Amino acid sequence: MNVTSIDIPIIDFQPFINGNADEKKAVAKQIYDACHKIGFMYLKNLGVSSKLRSKMFHLSQHFFNLPQSVKNQIPWDELSNRGYAAIARERLTENKPGDLKEAFNLGMEDVDLEEGSSSEPAKENLFKRTNKWPPGEDTFRSSTLEFYQAGIEAADRLCHAFAIALNLPQSFFLEKHNLYHHTLRLLHYPPIEISPQPEQQRAGEHSDYGSFTLLFQDNIGGLEVKDAAGKWIAAPPIPDTVVVNIGDLMQRWTNNVFCSTKHRVRIPNDDRIRRSRYSIALFCHPNDNTQVSCLETCQSWEHPPLYAPISAGDYLLSRLQATN
């Protein structure tokens, strides 16, 4: 495992995809160490092609260049967690000014959320999930869903790796995520043309809410991660890698063995302040009706469960309501 000067590891995932059992375990061990020590890692060869990434960034730029009146026709709402959120609509740090970004959320298209196998009892879903698309943008819609599907496949590979890392049955996390309640978020951080408010950021300090996140960055940078000592360290773009970080529900599942680390996107202090930044995040979330409770492999007499069980859907809704 190579380590950058900022102690966020770079892990080659290829041996997990094509390797034998020992090679898979070796990669899973590297992932365990990264998730335990810092909660962030760069993964190479996760299976999302450079060509598809480049296409998606081009489409994202196209979407955010649409007239504001068009984007405003498909507003984000917390019950669906889909649609367009305008600049400063969201504040990821509570009681701070709104973030200097705009976003577009989407998810699984045209599915009956009660279908599919699940290890959890059937229960009415908390969210009515219907994608909201800008009118007349059929290519944007089809290509974005293509990227979303590639992200799902990459997330499934990681679910497999996490299970091995935590000494669980290999299908454990796959079964808990098999309804694909994941959210793909396109993000645009526009140039800063007027002085921001005090303590305003492009994205305020926060942790992610779900199991884990796949983040695709452009070359502008600005992502920072808060280490255990409370110091902000840069997580710059590294070509042909995906940033992966642990979310709150995985931290709860693992009894703090894996850490959901605070992070932010700060306003640049150089000429990048006059340039747009784009990123694409796939927030990987368990099935809504999954009860997230401490894993047997992450507790002991000396380290009893730290969190009460909670439904994944309930937790997501509480966090969305707190930041909007």
Q: What is the CATH number of the domain that holds 145?
A: 2.60.120.330
Q: At residue 305, does pLDDT exceed 60?
A: yes
Q: At residue 116, does pLDDT exceed 80?
A: no
> Residue 173: which region, alpha, beta or left (left: phi > 0; alpha: psi -120 to 50)?
alpha
pLDDT number for residue 132: 95
pLDDT number for residue 127: 59
Q: Which of 185, 188, 184 is nearest to 99 (CA)?
A: 188
pLDDT number for residue 324: 64
- Poorest-pLDDT segment among 27-31, 114-118, 257-261: 114-118
Read off the pLDDT of residues 240-272 as tens digits, 9 standing for 90 and up.
999 999 999 999 999 999 999 999 999 888 889
CA distance 171 to 87: 40
- Poorest-pLDDT segment among 76-80, 170-174, 274-278: 76-80
């380590």: which residue's tokens? Answer: 3
pLDDT number for residue 63: 98
Mean pLDDT, rounded, of the chain: 90
Query: What is the span of the domain harbouring residue 56?
Result: 2-322
Residues 108-116: what's their mean pLDDT? 54
pLDDT number for residue 115: 39
Percent of the chain past pLDDT 90, that is, above it, reads 77
Residues 65-70: what's their mean pLDDT? 97
pLDDT band at 197 (very low <50, low <70, confident <90, very high): confident
Please state the pTM of the whole predicted model: 0.91
HEC readout, the chain: CEECCCCCEEEECHHHHHCCHHHHHHHHHHHHHHHHHCCEEEEECCCCCHHHHHHHHHHHHHHHCCCHHHHCCCECECCCCEEEECCCCCCCCCCCCCCCCEEEEECCCCCCCCCCCCCCCCCCCCCCCCCCCCCCCHHHHHHHHHHHHHHHHHHHHHHHHHHHHCCCCCCHHHHHCCCCCCEEEEEEECCCCCCCCCCCCCEEEECCCCCEEEEEECCCCCEEEECCCCCEEECCCCCCEEEEEECHHHHHHCCCCCCCCCEEECCCCCHHHHCCEEEEEEEECCCCCCEECCCHHHCCCCCCCCCCCEEHHHHHHHHHHHCC
- The domain total for the chain is 1
